[in-house]
Amino acid sequence: MTDAFDFSEASDEFLAAATRLTVDLNAVASNWRDMAKRSGRARAAAVVKADAYGLGIEDVGRTLYHAGARDFFVAVPAEGATLRPYAPEARIFVLSGIWPGSEHFFFDYDLVPVLASEEQLAFWMSAVAEHGDHPCALHVDTGFNRLGLSVEDALALADDVSRPASFSPVLVLSHLACADNPTSPMNRQQLESFRRVSAAFEGIDSSLSASAGIFLGPEYHFDLTRPGIAVYGGEAVNGAPNPMRPTVKAEARILQIREAKAGECVSYGASLKLARDSRLAIAAAGYADGYQRSASGSGVALRQTGIAGACGFIAGHKVPVAGRVTMDITIFDVTDVPANTIAVGDYIELFGPNMPLDEVARAAGTIGYELLTSVGLRYERHYNETD
């Protein structure tokens, strides 16, 4: 795979960093447009919670707004306040809803709370009575047992002719539990439940599908889709080829290259005993940087299951993690990389265009979402935007 990242305009700080993260904003925009097209007649929102999945809500939000996104979803009010200057005319929905003390965010930054409980509904009614009418959204649980009113309570609310006129939802939404498994019967069950809710709130936009749900087809799209992980290049559907462009490259600088003899041990716990004379690259990233300990090449419980540890990528070669990942350091076996092609100060790709995010995540026993959003603050960021 060709490395598409260009460092020609990177700052000196970025080029000298111990760990660095390159974000391809063109790929982010391209992936969002792809998901918007797959959404058919539905509008596509952009989910930018968790600091845009670890890539930076300011730059990513601006990019997606310029790409055409006019509906955004964040997790908490402070994220919405951060996003607002970069998406000035967008609707910004806050998935965690509202609670006492947070109401100023919604009125000061024109955010839309996603109300998920009777308590939130009651508090919202008191807030709009004080501040004036303001749009809201309604979250309905259709089988996930996470956030949301029950279907029965939502239907009762829709039929309640005595509800205050100031209760003015602009969106009713739910979330699929098993959309990443297209054959799961849970998908159809939740779809049928949500159809009842959507019909009860006639004239109000409905939204059911995030990234994986979009791939389930048009009947899951309703009025608004909510692509998230696919926009950032991650796999949305289990066991299917990933059609999205990679958007990020995480790298760690090589601090030392050392020779080790067959029979010597590597890293904490001496869990790896070398079977051959080896060259080891000591890289400046560890679990404090989001490169998870469970990705270790040995010495963690996951390796007992037969799943191999993670690899990095350098000089055209995949290089396996040797021994345990530590807090600030990961050791890679570079014995099979020609010695004259790498040197101290070079960077090993932890995940990116040559070392797919989800492949590394599977080696760590997790998903690309967790690996991406775990990227630590110690990474210097650089944004490529050439289109």
Among the listed residues 37, 49, 65, 383, the single catalytic one is 49
Note whether 352 and 341 are within 8 A (CB): no
Among the listed residues 232, 249, 268, 383, the single catalytic one is 268
**What's the rounded Cα separation, in Å, for the pair 66 and 76?**
23
Note whether 222 and 44 are within 8 A (CB): no
Determine whether 86 is an active site residue.
no
- DSSP, collapsed to helix, strand or coil, labels residue 27 as helix
Note whether 250 and 349 are within 8 A (CB): yes
**What's the rounded Cα separation, in Å, for the pair 14 and 247?**
18
Cα four-point dihedral sign 347, 353, 354, 359: positive
Give the count of beta carbons closer than 10 Å to the beta carbon of residue 307: 13
| Separation of CA 247 from chain center | 11
**What's the rounded Cα separation, in Å, for the pair 223 and 41?**
8
Q: Strands, DSSP E only, in 261-305?
A: 265-266, 272-273, 278-283
DSSP state of 226: B
Determine whether 318 is an active site residue.
no
Give the closest residue to 375 by CA, choosing from 361, 365, 355, 363. 361
**What's the rounded Cα separation, in Å, for the pair 250 and 256?**
19
The residues annotated as belonging to the active site are 49, 268
